[in-house]
Every structure is written in C-alpha cells, then in structure tokens.
C-alpha cells in the first residue's frame, strides 16, 4: 500500500518546550493506524501540523503522495479532542452544515445526515437542539458529522472516550467499514484493547520522539518473550528445549523456551517425548505492557 501520509523530520517547540523531535513515519493507505502516547507526548501537535492549524519549525508533511497543501483539507476529516457543537442549532442542521462545508450539496448532506443518525441509533434526535443531547449522544453526532463525508483520510482524536461499551463497539465497527472501503483512519486513543482489536499499525510517541512503529502483530512479537501457550491432555514431559513451565488457571501451560530455541523445535521435542498437544501458540505481549515498558524506561 502506498503511504497516504508521510511525516518527514517534524520538529516543533513551544518556547522552551520541545513537543516534537525529528519525527518521521508513514501511514499506509486503507488501514486503521493507532497513534499512541502518554499525555503531553506530542500527538495533538502532530495532528495539528497535519491539519495545518500550526506550522512545524522543521520538517514536512506529504499527503496523498504530494507535499501538503490547503486544498488537501477537503479530503481530510478531523475529530478534535476538544468537542463542541453549536448548542442552539438542531442536530440535522448542524450535520447538514458540516456536510456542506466539505462540498456536499445541502440535499445530499441532509440525506446522509439522516442515514448516519439512523445508523448511530439517533434517528429520533434529528430535530432536537444540540443542548438536549447527552454527552455521549453529542459525541456520536460529532463523529457522524466527520464520517458522513467519507473522507479519504480521517483523524479521530480519542473518539471513544466517555462512550459506553455498546457505543464503543458501534464506532469501531464504523471504522472497520471505512477500512473495508479502502479509506484510511488515524485513531488517537488511550484504550489499548481498541488498538489490539482494530488497528493494523501503530506509532507510539513519547516526549516528542517516535519510540515504536510497525504493524501491530509485528510490534507485539518484537516485545514478546520467547513464550508459548500450550494446551495438552495429561501432563507435559520435561524437555531441554523448555526452560520453565507455569500452569495457568484454565489448565493451559505457559512455557518459556530455552535460549535460542525456536517454537517449532520445542513443539517437535514435546511431541517426540510423548506429549498430547491440543493447542500451541506464541504468547504475544499486550500493547498495554509495551506502552508501559517503553514510556517508563524511556527507550524502545
Ligand atoms: P498530547 O496530544 O500527546 O497530549 P501535545 O501535543 O498536546 O501532547 O503536547 C506536547 C507538549 O507540548 C506538552 O508538553 C504540552 O504541554 C506542550 N504544548 C502543547 N501545546 C502548547 C501550546 N499551545 N503552548 C505551549 N505548550 C504547548
């Protein structure tokens, strides 16, 4: 996949505070990309540079394979972290206005607004004033206002924060549908389970530096110990390829492999020693553990 977005050597300071230090990475097209990092890491600064709200001190952004231009904004969607809608306007009017801003005719914007409200189980609120919506409802209206124009690249800053699990699932499903249609999404989130559930690729930023970058499975493998989870009938034989074994509560075993032993060699040794294996899989480090390790230790 060609990158839909490339950050090239971005550096930005606010006075004494260095918010980004020489940050470079690509976002491939047609994926859901997780942008991770602790508070104050520099994520919003990066997003604001992409959206042309602020200028970097050095570096460049390429969008859709071209140096970033204002005209690209029509093809970008953005849900900022600060939420806010015009309180006295009606839901349908606000959404129609956002659609028209992105170049839809008013009739088409209205049609899409109604369809998206239905999809988000908010069809009955179309003539409500914004102020009547609960916080979560308002958030869904704002998400729908961004997604309804089908932007080729969409940046969502913590879209699920404050939503209940049913609505979190609904929003993640919408992002999955975007991916199925070849559209690209950048998801800034503090919910690591969402990253494991839906992201193809991640970048972890800390103190203005890119610390971790890669496909989610590949990153998880990179930070994992040489461990495998094994389900077996009966007991497990002792073999030199396994350094230690720990029985887990559900009856499986977690095995730490001996130095330099590949998983398939350990499996062959166990079977050779008479084990009746029913399940055998690598134990991948959770993204949350990787996040904590990298941020606490300050090194990737
Ligand atoms: P994140 O979005 O990851 O929480 P930010 O990009 O908002 O991080 O902030 C990165 C750093 O830059 C922080 O130290 C923050 O205090 C600082 N910062 C952000 N915006 C401004 C600003 N307008 N003026 C001064 N410092 C800022």
pLDDT over 70 (residue 300)? no
Domain shared by 70 and 198, yes or no: yes
For residue 43, report the distance from its CA to the centre of ligand 1, in Å. 8
Q: Residue with structure tokens 């956002």?
A: 98
Pairing status of strand 227-233 against strand 153-157: unpaired
Q: Looking at the CA of residue 37, tell me the nearest atom of ligand 1.
A: 3
Q: What is the pLDDT of residue 74?
A: 87
Domain shared by 58 and 201, yes or no: yes
Domain shared by 141 and 236, yes or no: no
Q: What is the pLDDT of residue 268?
A: 95
Domain shared by 101 and 242, yes or no: no
- What is the distance between the alpha carbons of residues 56 and 128, in angstroms, rounded to a whole number? 41
Over residues 232-244, the mean pLDDT reads: 92
Residue 121: count other Cβ atoms within 10 Å of its Cβ.
13
For residue range 30-48, what is the model confidence (pLDDT) as tens digits?
999 999 999 999 999 999 9
Q: What is the pLDDT of residue 1?
A: 65
Using left for φ > 0, alpha for ψ between -120 and 50, and beta otherwise, residue 281 falls in beta
Domain shared by 215 and 274, yes or no: no
Mean pLDDT of the chain: 93
For residue 196, report the distance from its CA to the centre of ligand 1, in Å. 26
Q: Is residue 299 part of a domain?
A: no
Q: Which of 13, 18, 42 has the most ligand 1 atoms within 8 A of CB, as the residue to mutate?
A: 42
CATH code for the domain of 214: 3.40.50.300
Domain shared by 27 and 152, yes or no: yes
Over residues 141-159, the mean pLDDT reads: 95
For residue range 182-232, what is the model confidence (pLDDT) as tens digits?
999 999 999 999 999 999 999 999 999 999 999 999 999 999 999 999 999
Q: Residue with structure tokens 């166990």?
A: 270
Q: What is the pLDDT of residue 299?
A: 66
For residue 64, report the distance from its CA to the centre of ligand 1, in Å. 27
Q: Is residue 291 part of a domain?
A: no
For residue 174, report the distance from its CA to the centre of ligand 1, in Å. 29
Domain end point (choices 191, 220, 249): 220
pLDDT grade for 86, boundaries at 50, 70 and 90: confident
pLDDT over 90 (residue 83)? no
pTM of the model: 0.89
Q: Is residue 288 part of a domain?
A: no
Atom 14 in ligand 1: residue holding the nearest Cα? 40
Helix axes 165-180, 135-147, angle to 10 degrees: 0
For residue range 68-78, what is the model confidence (pLDDT) as tens digits?
988 888 899 99
Domain end point (choices 186, 220, 254): 220
Angle at CA of residue 206, ends 208 and 215, nearest 5°: 110
- What is the distance between the alpha carbons of residues 173 and 20, in angstroms, rounded to a whole number? 32
Domain shared by 257 and 214, yes or no: no
Q: What is the pLDDT of residue 269?
A: 95
Domain shared by 209 and 140, yes or no: yes
Q: What is the pLDDT of residue 255?
A: 95
For residue 21, report the distance from its CA to the centre of ligand 1, in Å. 13
Show the domain range for 94.
Answer: 3-220
The strand order across the sheet containing 153-157 reads 76-79, 153-157, 184-188, 32-36, 201-206, 209-215
pLDDT over 80 (residue 280)? yes
């Amino acid at each position: 996949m060609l990158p839909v977005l490339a950050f090239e050597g971005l550096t930005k300071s606010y006075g004494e505070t260095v918010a980004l230090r020489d940050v470079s990475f690509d976002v491939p097209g047609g994926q859901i990309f997780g942008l991770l990092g602790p508070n104050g890491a520099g994520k919003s600064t990066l997003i604001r540079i992409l959206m042309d709200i602020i200028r970097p001190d050095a570096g460049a952004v390429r969008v859709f394979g071209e140096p970033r231009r204002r005209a690209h904004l029509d093809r970008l969607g953005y849900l900022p972290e600060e939420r806010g809608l015009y309180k006295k306007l009606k839901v349908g009017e606000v959404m129609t206005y956002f659609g028209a801003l992105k170049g839809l005719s008013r009739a088409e914007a209205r049609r899409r607004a109604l369809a998206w409200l239905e999809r988000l189980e908010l069809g009955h609120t179309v003539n409500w004033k914004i102020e009547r919506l609960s916080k979560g409802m308002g958030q869904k209206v704002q998400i729908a206002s961004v997604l309804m124009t089908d932007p080729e690249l969409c940046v969502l800053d913590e879209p699920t924060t404050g939503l209940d699990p049913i609505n979190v699932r609904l929003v993640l499903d919408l992002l999955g549908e975007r991916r199925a249609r070849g559209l690209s999404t950048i998801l800034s989130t503090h919910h690591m389970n969402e990253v494991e559930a839906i992201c193809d690729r991640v970048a972890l930023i800390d103190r203005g530096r890119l610390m971790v970058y890669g496909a989610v499975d590949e990153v998880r493998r990179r930070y994992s110990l040489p461990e495998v989870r094994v389900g077996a009938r009966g007991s497990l034989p002792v073999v030199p390829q396994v350094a230690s074994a720990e029985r887990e509560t559900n009856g499986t075993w977690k095995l730490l492999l001996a130095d330099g032993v590949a998983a398939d060699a350990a499996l062959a040794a166990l079977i050779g020693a008479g084990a009746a294996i029913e399940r055998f899989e690598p134990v991948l480090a959770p993204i949350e553990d990787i996040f904590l390790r990298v941020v606490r230790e300050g090194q990737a």
